[in-house]
Amino acid sequence: MKTSILSIVLISLATGALANVVSEDQKQYVKKYEKQASVAVPADMLLNTDPEPDLNEGFVSLYNGKNLDGWISLGGHCAYEAKGDTIVGTTIKGSPSTYLSTVKSDYTDFIFTAELKWEIQGNSGFMFRGQQKPGKKGVTVFGPQVEMEGFAKGRNWSGGIYEQGAGGWAYPLWLESHQDARGALKKDDWNRVTVVAQGDTYKTWINGVPAAHMNDGKYKQGFFSLQVHSGNAGKIHFRNIKVKELK
């Protein structure tokens, strides 16, 4: 039996609508963040359905494996240490959130990837196209960040996009369509984050699982940062930090 064009359209519309349904266990967060100016409206959210890019060729390591040459600490005084093949970030009580940032600050279009593992749970993330400006207590870092919030909050938004210092959550992982991404984070193990930025489009993956997809024209270029959030404790290992700039 032939399927009518009208039936195809109706099926497509229904599928699209279902794709942007908020998960039952996530509805509490919609209410919490609905007045936040930067947050995405669930019905309008774009979905990342692309496979993770090939991470094997054309990449340049951003960490030399010996010291923190090429990096600068911004925003606070949490500690960072070059330790073998990893950079270890440690929360210092009383310090604002701190961003170990690439000195190079004109990255535009790229594929960025890195791995993170918590030794002591603490909020973290990777800034991309990061910016800085003078603040009341020193430098303020702002711009888009792939959030790595761990397991403590229970909402599992690691891999979503947070607009650091400039509006808060931009792309939370609260849809039914984000269920796989919310379940992709591994406890007590390494977790891989990948970001593609091309023009105004950002896409992210968490351990190879598609996560965020959004358009934002505010940030055209900037630096990368490894975040250690303010708090009483936190120890985070970073490795395989590399980028492939796109022509």
Mean pLDDT, rounded, for 183-190: 96
Q: Report the pLDDT value the prediction gives residue 138, as an integer from 0 to 100.
A: 82
Structural domain that includes position 42? 5-245
pLDDT > 50? residue 243: yes
* Each residue's pLDDT tens digit, 128-156: 999 999 987 789 999 999 999 999 899 99
CB of 117 closer than 8 Å to CB of 134 = no
Q: What is the CATH number of the domain that holds 81?
A: 2.60.120.560
Percent with pLDDT over 70 in the chain: 93
* Each residue's pLDDT tens digit, 38-84: 899 999 999 999 999 999 999 999 999 999 999 999 999 999 999 99
Distance CA 193, CA 106 (A): 21
Q: Is 137 exposed, middle or buried (0-12, 13-18, 19+ CB in 10 A)?
A: exposed
Q: Report the pLDDT value the prediction gives residue 12, as an integer from 0 to 100.
A: 36
Percent with pLDDT over 90 in the chain: 85
Those residues whose C-beta lies under 8 Å from the C-beta of residue 200, and which sit 6 or more positions away, are 215, 216, 217
Mean pLDDT, rounded, for 155-183: 96
Q: Name the band, by pLDDT with cuts 50, 70 and 90, for residue 247.
A: confident
Q: 9 by DSSP, 3-state: which? A: helix
Q: Higher confidence at residue 8 or residue 79?
A: 79
Q: Name the band, by pLDDT with cuts 50, 70 and 90, for residue 18.
A: low
* Each residue's pLDDT tens digit, 218-238: 999 999 999 999 999 999 999
Q: Report the pLDDT value the prediction gives residue 111, as an integer from 0 to 100.
A: 98
**Average pLDDT taken over every residue of the chain:** 92
* Each residue's pLDDT tens digit, 117-129: 999 998 999 999 9
pLDDT > 70? residue 13: no
Task: Report the sign of the C-alpha dihedral through residues 159, 50, 48, 201, in that order.
Answer: positive
Domain count, the chain: 1
Q: Report the pLDDT value the prediction gives residue 166, as an integer from 0 to 100.
A: 87
pLDDT > 80? residue 14: no
